[in-house]
Amino acid sequence: MPKTGLPKPTVYRLCAVLEDLGFLERELGSKRFVVGYRQERLALESLMNSTNRGARHAILEALAREVGETVNLTVLDGNWVVYIDRVESHWPLRTHLQPGTRVPLHCGASGLLFLSLMSASKRRRLLTAAPLEKYTEKALTDAKQIEERLKMIRRTRVGIEAEEFMRGLIGLAVPVYDARGRICATVSLHAPTARFTVDEVLALAPALQRSADAISRLLVR
């Protein structure tokens, strides 16, 4: 009997209803159910309109002062990363990606981090559903090459990209975890190559992770 205490046929019928509503979907080639698009959208809206929004933004403001660059909070929405909060740097040279902006998964630091930590079947589906756009000459669009790259990101839990989404820009991302220890968002940073090397950006990962952990504590209260 399932952990719910309900008979298996009952659980199956409930899952089928949730599948029809979009809260669950089946893994390709499997009988397993995974989170559906409506459940992901519900989580996105909850984060964007959270009662902790002010405290969350204050954490990002403190981080932006510490690192001196623009920082963001992002979440996964289908095959896109969505910026739900952002604190700009005071430098005249900066990139304007307002809250609500969507960035593709395969060529941004947050997207690569989300990909590295999701199930292999879901990752494969997102990477192979349609041809990946090559936003710059440095962006990887071959699923096998991306999979190889994700191995290191999965091990370090730090997403990094250099001029793959936008020329002259380096991206860094670390995970925000939910109460069950699963990635639910990222804290990320954008730094121009005119001011930073990749190694210098990577050195900021501990500061980002401290802020991400503080946001995680807000979410689990």
Q: Which of 67-81, 137-151, 156-170 has the lowest mean pLDDT?
A: 67-81
Instruction: Give the residue from 120, 171, 176, 168 showing the smallest Cα distance to 146.
Output: 120
**Domains in the chain with CATH codes:** 8-35 (no CATH), 38-219 (3.30.450.40)
pLDDT bucket at 171, cuts 50 / 70 / 90: very high
Phi, psi of 164 (to 5 degrees): -95, -30
Render 87-108 in DSSP notation, one character per residue.
E--S-SS-----TT-EEEGGGS
pTM of the model: 0.79
Structure tokens at 163: 């001029």
Structure tokens at 92: 């005249």
How confident is the model at residue 103, as a pLDDT?
Answer: 86
Cα pseudo-dihedral 204, 53, 91, 199, rounded to 10: 10
> DSSP assignment, residue 131?
P
Residue type, 182: R
How confident is the model at residue 1, as a pLDDT?
Answer: 47
Instruction: Give the residue from 146, 153, 161 showing the smallest Cα distance to 193.
Output: 161
How confident is the model at residue 218, as a pLDDT?
Answer: 86
Yes or no: say if 106 and 153 are a contact pair by the CB < 8 Å rule.
no
80-128 pLDDT, tens digit each: 899 889 998 876 655 666 666 788 899 999 999 999 999 898 899 889 9
58-78 pLDDT, tens digit each: 999 999 999 999 999 999 888
Yes or no: say if 52 and 219 are a contact pair by the CB < 8 Å rule.
yes
Listed in sequence order, the residues at least 6 apart from 185 whose beta carbon sits closer than 8 Å to its beta carbon are 47, 73, 74, 75, 84, 175, 176, 212, 215
